Amino acid sequence: MLQPGQIAPNFSCVDADMELIKLADYKGLANVVLYFYKRDSAPSCLQENIEFSDLAADFAALDTVLFGVSRDDCLSHAAFRDQHGINIRLLADKDAVVCHKYCILHDRIIDGVSRKSALRSTFIIDKQGIVRHALYDVASKGHAQQVLALVKQL
């Protein structure tokens, strides 16, 4: 698991509009909140994305960009975003490359079969590319407000 004080693993990933997003592009320019969620269609994930979306202007005022990451593809992200009015850039990590780098996958037994599942987690990365907060297994409700409070302390 990643710990505060470690260098954030670099990644490049496409968003819902198939634009390439690179963490390195934000170094020296903005703080980054990288939150991982299970899937676009889950009610708790919808709630979390809406809460972050509602606070996007507050994060932007603190020089902070928001990225939601799941293993859904670009088309799923685009439909989810458009249907629910989400204004966060959603990153498609279909092959779980970013999930592995941030150590958020865990084994889960579903119908007697062990599968890798994303652990709802959030990383607050400062402008120097250092993980300032690593929050694992978080609750969706109220989480965006909690993260905003932590970003205000940077």
**Tokens 């297994």 — which residue?**
137
Domain at 70, CATH number = 3.40.30.10
Q: What is the pTM of this model?
A: 0.93
Higher pLDDT: 68 or 139? It is 68
Q: How many domains does the chain have?
A: 1
Q: Let me know if residue 5 belongs to a domain.
A: no
139 phi-psi bin (left φ>0, alpha ψ -120 to 50, beta other): beta
pLDDT value at position 115? Answer: 75
Q: What confidence tens digit (pLDDT) does each residue in 45-74 have?
A: 889 999 999 999 999 999 999 999 999 999
Q: Let me know if residue 74 belongs to a domain.
A: yes
pLDDT value at position 119? Answer: 85
Mean pLDDT of 122-138: 97
pLDDT bin (cut points 50, 70, 90) of residue 41 is: confident
pLDDT exceeds 90 at position 129: yes
- Alpha carbon 15 to chain centroid, angstroms: 12
Please list the residues that pair with 20 across neighbouring strands: 14
Containing structural domain, residue 66: 12-152
Q: How many CB atoms lie within 10 A of CB 47?
A: 17
Q: Let me know if residue 7 belongs to a domain.
A: no
pLDDT exceeds 90 at position 114: no
Q: Let me know if residue 117 belongs to a domain.
A: yes
Q: Let me know if residue 3 belongs to a domain.
A: no
Question: Phi and psi of 26, rounded to 5°?
Answer: -100, -5
Let me know: does 71 contact 96? Beta carbons within 8 Å.
yes
Q: Let me know if residue 60 belongs to a domain.
A: yes
pLDDT bin (cut points 50, 70, 90) of residue 105 is: confident
Q: Let me know if residue 2 belongs to a domain.
A: no
Catalytic residue numbers read: 45
